[in-house]
Structure 1
Protein backbone atom coordinates (compact mmCIF):
# COMPACT_ATOMS: atom_id res chain seq x y z
CA UNK A 1 0.00 0.00 0.00
CA UNK A 2 1.47 3.31 -1.10
CA UNK A 3 0.17 6.33 0.84
CA UNK A 4 1.35 8.72 -1.90
CA UNK A 5 -0.64 6.90 -4.60
CA UNK A 6 -3.68 6.55 -2.37
CA UNK A 7 -3.50 10.24 -1.43
CA UNK A 8 -3.27 11.26 -5.08
CA UNK A 9 -6.27 9.07 -5.90
CA UNK A 10 -8.34 10.59 -3.07
CA UNK A 11 -7.46 14.12 -4.23
CA UNK A 12 -8.14 13.39 -7.90
CA UNK A 13 -11.55 11.82 -7.32
CA UNK A 14 -12.56 14.50 -4.82
CA UNK A 15 -11.67 17.19 -7.37
CA UNK A 16 -13.48 15.33 -10.17
CA UNK A 17 -16.57 15.39 -7.97
CA UNK A 18 -16.12 19.17 -7.45
CA UNK A 19 -15.90 18.70 -3.69
CA UNK A 20 -13.69 20.54 -1.24
CA UNK A 21 -11.63 18.92 1.47
CA UNK A 22 -14.09 20.44 3.94
CA UNK A 23 -17.04 18.74 2.17
CA UNK A 24 -15.39 15.33 2.35
CA UNK A 25 -14.26 15.95 5.93
CA UNK A 26 -17.77 16.86 7.04
CA UNK A 27 -19.20 13.76 5.39
CA UNK A 28 -16.70 11.49 7.15
CA UNK A 29 -16.71 13.35 10.48
CA UNK A 30 -13.02 14.28 10.40
CA UNK A 31 -11.11 17.53 10.05
CA UNK A 32 -10.13 18.99 6.70
CA UNK A 33 -6.54 18.78 7.96
CA UNK A 34 -6.94 14.98 8.09
CA UNK A 35 -8.09 14.96 4.46
CA UNK A 36 -5.11 17.13 3.54
CA UNK A 37 -2.73 14.69 5.25
CA UNK A 38 -4.22 11.75 3.38
CA UNK A 39 -4.05 13.55 0.06
CA UNK A 40 -0.41 14.52 0.61
CA UNK A 41 0.45 10.94 1.52
CA UNK A 42 1.50 11.92 5.04
CA UNK A 43 -1.00 9.57 6.65
CA UNK A 44 -3.67 7.03 5.90
CA UNK A 45 -7.30 7.03 7.09
CA UNK A 46 -8.18 5.17 10.24
CA UNK A 47 -9.31 1.65 9.51
CA UNK A 48 -12.85 2.57 10.61
CA UNK A 49 -12.96 5.23 7.85
CA UNK A 50 -11.73 3.10 4.95
CA UNK A 51 -15.13 1.76 3.89
CA UNK A 52 -17.04 5.07 4.28
CA UNK A 53 -14.26 6.90 2.39
CA UNK A 54 -14.34 4.42 -0.49
CA UNK A 55 -18.15 4.66 -0.67
CA UNK A 56 -18.02 8.45 -0.58
CA UNK A 57 -15.54 8.53 -3.45
CA UNK A 58 -17.45 5.90 -5.41
CA UNK A 59 -14.56 3.43 -5.54
CA UNK A 60 -13.89 0.02 -4.06
CA UNK A 61 -11.79 -0.65 -1.00
CA UNK A 62 -9.34 -2.52 -3.25
CA UNK A 63 -8.91 0.59 -5.40
CA UNK A 64 -8.38 2.75 -2.32
CA UNK A 65 -5.70 0.39 -1.00
CA UNK A 66 -4.06 0.06 -4.41
CA UNK A 67 -4.10 3.81 -4.98
CA UNK A 68 -5.50 3.60 -8.49
CA UNK A 69 -8.75 2.90 -10.21
CA UNK A 70 -8.99 -0.62 -11.57
CA UNK A 71 -10.33 -0.94 -15.10
CA UNK A 72 -11.61 -4.51 -14.85
CA UNK A 73 -14.32 -5.14 -12.31
CA UNK A 74 -13.18 -6.19 -8.86
CA UNK A 75 -14.34 -9.63 -7.82
CA UNK A 76 -17.23 -9.17 -5.39
CA UNK A 77 -15.88 -11.92 -3.16
CA UNK A 78 -12.51 -10.15 -2.98
CA UNK A 79 -14.13 -6.82 -2.15
CA UNK A 80 -16.33 -8.50 0.47
CA UNK A 81 -13.25 -10.08 2.01
CA UNK A 82 -11.49 -6.71 2.20
CA UNK A 83 -14.59 -5.18 3.76
CA UNK A 84 -14.69 -7.94 6.38
CA UNK A 85 -10.99 -7.47 7.19
CA UNK A 86 -11.54 -3.73 7.66
CA UNK A 87 -14.51 -4.36 9.97
CA UNK A 88 -12.66 -6.96 12.03
CA UNK A 89 -9.69 -4.61 12.39
CA UNK A 90 -11.92 -1.73 13.49
CA UNK A 91 -13.72 -3.99 15.98
CA UNK A 92 -10.42 -5.17 17.43
CA UNK A 93 -9.18 -1.60 17.85
CA UNK A 94 -12.47 -0.71 19.53
CA UNK A 95 -12.21 -3.69 21.87
CA UNK A 96 -8.67 -2.74 22.88
CA UNK A 97 -9.75 0.87 23.54
CA UNK A 98 -12.57 -0.31 25.79
CA UNK A 99 -10.27 -2.66 27.68
CA UNK A 100 -7.68 0.09 28.17
CA UNK A 101 -10.34 2.48 29.46
CA UNK A 102 -11.63 -0.11 31.94
CA UNK A 103 -8.08 -0.70 33.18
CA UNK A 104 -7.48 3.04 33.57
CA UNK A 105 -10.80 3.54 35.35
CA UNK A 106 -10.17 0.65 37.74
CA UNK A 107 -6.60 1.82 38.43
CA UNK A 108 -7.70 5.38 39.16
CA UNK A 109 -10.48 4.14 41.43
CA UNK A 110 -8.08 1.84 43.31
CA UNK A 111 -5.53 4.65 43.72
CA UNK A 112 -8.10 7.04 45.14
CA UNK A 113 -9.36 4.43 47.58
CA UNK A 114 -5.79 3.54 48.59
CA UNK A 115 -4.85 7.20 49.12
CA UNK A 116 -8.00 7.74 51.17
CA UNK A 117 -7.27 4.68 53.34
CA UNK A 118 -3.63 5.68 53.89
CA UNK A 119 -4.38 9.32 54.69
CA UNK A 120 -7.59 8.63 56.55
CA UNK A 121 -9.29 11.41 54.61
CA UNK A 122 -12.37 10.49 52.66
CA UNK A 123 -13.14 13.46 50.48
CA UNK A 124 -15.95 13.78 48.00
CA UNK A 125 -13.51 14.59 45.18
CA UNK A 126 -12.36 10.99 44.90
CA UNK A 127 -15.96 9.88 44.43
CA UNK A 128 -16.38 12.44 41.66
CA UNK A 129 -13.21 11.27 39.87
CA UNK A 130 -14.12 7.61 40.17
CA UNK A 131 -17.61 8.34 38.88
CA UNK A 132 -16.12 10.31 35.99
CA UNK A 133 -13.81 7.43 35.02
CA UNK A 134 -16.68 4.97 34.90
CA UNK A 135 -18.88 7.51 33.11
CA UNK A 136 -16.23 7.70 30.33
CA UNK A 137 -16.08 3.93 30.01
CA UNK A 138 -19.85 3.52 29.92
CA UNK A 139 -20.46 6.31 27.41
CA UNK A 140 -17.73 4.98 25.16
CA UNK A 141 -19.46 1.61 25.20
CA UNK A 142 -22.83 3.22 24.43
CA UNK A 143 -21.44 5.38 21.61
CA UNK A 144 -19.36 2.57 20.07
CA UNK A 145 -15.74 3.62 20.65
CA UNK A 146 -15.59 7.33 20.06
Structure 2
Protein backbone atom coordinates (compact mmCIF):
# COMPACT_ATOMS: atom_id res chain seq x y z
CA UNK A 1 0.00 0.00 0.00
CA UNK A 2 1.15 3.46 -0.85
CA UNK A 3 0.14 6.23 1.55
CA UNK A 4 0.78 9.03 -0.96
CA UNK A 5 -1.34 7.24 -3.55
CA UNK A 6 -4.15 6.75 -1.04
CA UNK A 7 -3.96 10.43 -0.09
CA UNK A 8 -4.17 11.50 -3.72
CA UNK A 9 -7.12 9.15 -4.20
CA UNK A 10 -8.99 10.63 -1.21
CA UNK A 11 -8.40 14.13 -2.62
CA UNK A 12 -9.49 13.12 -6.11
CA UNK A 13 -12.70 11.42 -5.00
CA UNK A 14 -13.55 14.24 -2.57
CA UNK A 15 -13.24 16.76 -5.42
CA UNK A 16 -15.33 14.55 -7.73
CA UNK A 17 -18.02 14.68 -5.05
CA UNK A 18 -17.77 18.49 -5.00
CA UNK A 19 -16.80 18.57 -1.32
CA UNK A 20 -14.28 20.79 0.37
CA UNK A 21 -11.90 19.42 2.96
CA UNK A 22 -13.89 21.25 5.61
CA UNK A 23 -17.18 19.66 4.48
CA UNK A 24 -15.70 16.17 4.48
CA UNK A 25 -14.09 16.81 7.84
CA UNK A 26 -17.39 17.94 9.35
CA UNK A 27 -19.18 14.83 8.12
CA UNK A 28 -16.48 12.61 9.62
CA UNK A 29 -16.09 14.54 12.88
CA UNK A 30 -12.46 15.49 12.26
CA UNK A 31 -10.73 18.77 11.42
CA UNK A 32 -10.06 20.00 7.90
CA UNK A 33 -6.38 19.92 8.83
CA UNK A 34 -6.72 16.17 9.43
CA UNK A 35 -8.25 15.69 5.98
CA UNK A 36 -5.42 17.76 4.52
CA UNK A 37 -2.86 15.51 6.21
CA UNK A 38 -4.57 12.44 4.77
CA UNK A 39 -4.58 13.93 1.29
CA UNK A 40 -0.92 14.91 1.39
CA UNK A 41 -0.02 11.41 2.54
CA UNK A 42 1.36 12.56 5.89
CA UNK A 43 -1.18 10.56 7.90
CA UNK A 44 -3.74 7.86 7.38
CA UNK A 45 -7.25 7.79 8.81
CA UNK A 46 -7.78 5.75 11.97
CA UNK A 47 -9.27 2.33 11.46
CA UNK A 48 -12.44 3.61 13.13
CA UNK A 49 -12.71 6.39 10.50
CA UNK A 50 -11.97 4.42 7.35
CA UNK A 51 -15.44 2.90 7.02
CA UNK A 52 -17.14 6.29 7.45
CA UNK A 53 -14.72 7.89 5.00
CA UNK A 54 -15.42 5.20 2.42
CA UNK A 55 -19.17 5.64 2.91
CA UNK A 56 -18.93 9.43 2.49
CA UNK A 57 -16.79 9.09 -0.63
CA UNK A 58 -18.86 6.18 -1.96
CA UNK A 59 -15.84 3.93 -2.40
CA UNK A 60 -15.05 0.45 -1.13
CA UNK A 61 -12.48 -0.25 1.57
CA UNK A 62 -10.52 -2.28 -0.98
CA UNK A 63 -10.44 0.75 -3.30
CA UNK A 64 -9.34 2.91 -0.38
CA UNK A 65 -6.48 0.54 0.50
CA UNK A 66 -5.47 0.29 -3.16
CA UNK A 67 -5.67 4.04 -3.66
CA UNK A 68 -7.57 3.67 -6.92
CA UNK A 69 -10.89 2.68 -8.43
CA UNK A 70 -11.11 -1.05 -8.95
CA UNK A 71 -13.04 -2.68 -11.74
CA UNK A 72 -15.07 -5.76 -10.92
CA UNK A 73 -12.66 -7.83 -13.06
CA UNK A 74 -9.60 -6.90 -10.99
CA UNK A 75 -11.33 -6.72 -7.61
CA UNK A 76 -10.20 -10.15 -6.45
CA UNK A 77 -6.59 -9.55 -7.47
CA UNK A 78 -6.51 -6.25 -5.57
CA UNK A 79 -8.15 -7.84 -2.53
CA UNK A 80 -5.62 -10.68 -2.52
CA UNK A 81 -2.70 -8.26 -2.87
CA UNK A 82 -4.03 -6.10 -0.02
CA UNK A 83 -4.44 -9.09 2.29
CA UNK A 84 -0.93 -10.34 1.49
CA UNK A 85 0.48 -6.86 2.10
CA UNK A 86 -1.19 -6.66 5.52
CA UNK A 87 -0.03 -10.15 6.46
CA UNK A 88 3.56 -9.35 5.45
CA UNK A 89 3.46 -6.15 7.49
CA UNK A 90 2.16 -8.04 10.53
CA UNK A 91 4.86 -10.72 10.19
CA UNK A 92 7.59 -8.08 9.94
CA UNK A 93 6.29 -6.22 12.98
CA UNK A 94 6.10 -9.45 15.01
CA UNK A 95 9.74 -10.17 14.12
CA UNK A 96 10.76 -6.66 15.20
CA UNK A 97 8.81 -7.05 18.45
CA UNK A 98 10.62 -10.28 19.25
CA UNK A 99 14.00 -8.60 18.66
CA UNK A 100 13.01 -5.68 20.86
CA UNK A 101 11.77 -7.99 23.61
CA UNK A 102 14.96 -10.07 23.43
CA UNK A 103 17.19 -7.00 23.71
CA UNK A 104 15.23 -5.49 26.59
CA UNK A 105 14.88 -8.79 28.44
CA UNK A 106 18.45 -9.88 27.86
CA UNK A 107 19.75 -6.50 28.89
CA UNK A 108 17.70 -6.62 32.07
CA UNK A 109 19.07 -10.08 32.84
CA UNK A 110 22.64 -8.94 32.30
CA UNK A 111 22.08 -5.86 34.41
CA UNK A 112 20.61 -7.88 37.27
CA UNK A 113 23.42 -10.44 37.16
CA UNK A 114 26.02 -7.67 37.12
CA UNK A 115 24.46 -5.99 40.12
CA UNK A 116 24.65 -9.20 42.11
CA UNK A 117 28.27 -9.96 41.20
CA UNK A 118 31.48 -8.74 42.81
CA UNK A 119 32.82 -5.30 42.01
CA UNK A 120 35.36 -4.95 39.25
CA UNK A 121 35.91 -4.42 35.57
CA UNK A 122 33.75 -7.44 34.64
CA UNK A 123 30.80 -6.02 36.54
CA UNK A 124 31.21 -2.66 34.80
CA UNK A 125 31.39 -4.24 31.34
CA UNK A 126 28.34 -6.42 31.96
CA UNK A 127 26.42 -3.45 33.42
CA UNK A 128 27.21 -1.24 30.42
CA UNK A 129 26.33 -4.06 28.01
CA UNK A 130 23.04 -4.66 29.82
CA UNK A 131 22.15 -0.98 29.73
CA UNK A 132 23.03 -0.74 26.03
CA UNK A 133 20.82 -3.75 25.28
CA UNK A 134 17.92 -2.25 27.24
CA UNK A 135 18.21 1.14 25.55
CA UNK A 136 18.59 -0.46 22.12
CA UNK A 137 15.50 -2.57 22.81
CA UNK A 138 13.58 0.55 23.85
CA UNK A 139 14.72 2.36 20.72
CA UNK A 140 13.56 -0.46 18.44
CA UNK A 141 10.30 -0.73 20.37
CA UNK A 142 9.61 2.99 19.92
CA UNK A 143 10.22 2.64 16.18
CA UNK A 144 7.89 -0.36 16.13
CA UNK A 145 5.24 1.53 18.08
CA UNK A 146 5.36 4.33 15.49
CA UNK A 147 4.86 1.75 12.74
CA UNK A 148 1.97 0.17 14.61
CA UNK A 149 0.29 3.53 15.02
CA UNK A 150 0.84 4.43 11.38
CA UNK A 151 -1.07 2.88 8.58
CA UNK A 152 0.35 0.16 6.39
CA UNK A 153 2.62 1.49 3.73
CA UNK A 154 3.71 4.54 5.73
CA UNK A 155 6.86 3.03 7.23
CA UNK A 156 10.15 4.58 6.27
- Alignment TM-score, normalising by the size of structure 2: 0.47
Aligned to 2:51: 51
User: Residue in 2 aligned with 1:69?
Assistant: 69
Gaps in structure 2 of 5+ consecutive residues: 84-156
Q: Look at both structures and tell me which one has the larger radius of gyration over its CA atoms.
A: 2
Structure 1 gap ranges (5+): 83-146
Residue 8 (structure 1) aligns with:
8
Alpha-carbon RMSD across the aligned residues, in angstroms, is 2.1
Which runs of structure 1 show a deviation greater than 3 angstroms over 4 or more consecutive aligned residues?
A: none
Instruction: Tell me the equivalent position of 1:23.
Output: 23
Aligned residues: 79
Aligned match of 2:35: 35
Q: Which whole-Å CA distance do the structure 2 matches of 1:16 and 1:62 have between them?
A: 19
What is the TM-score when the length of structure 1 is the normalising length? Answer: 0.50
Counterpart of 2:103 in structure 1 is none
Residues in 1 aligned to 2:9 and 2:71: alpha-carbon distance in whole angstroms: 14
> Which one scores higher on RCO, CA 8 angstroms, separation ≥ 6?
2
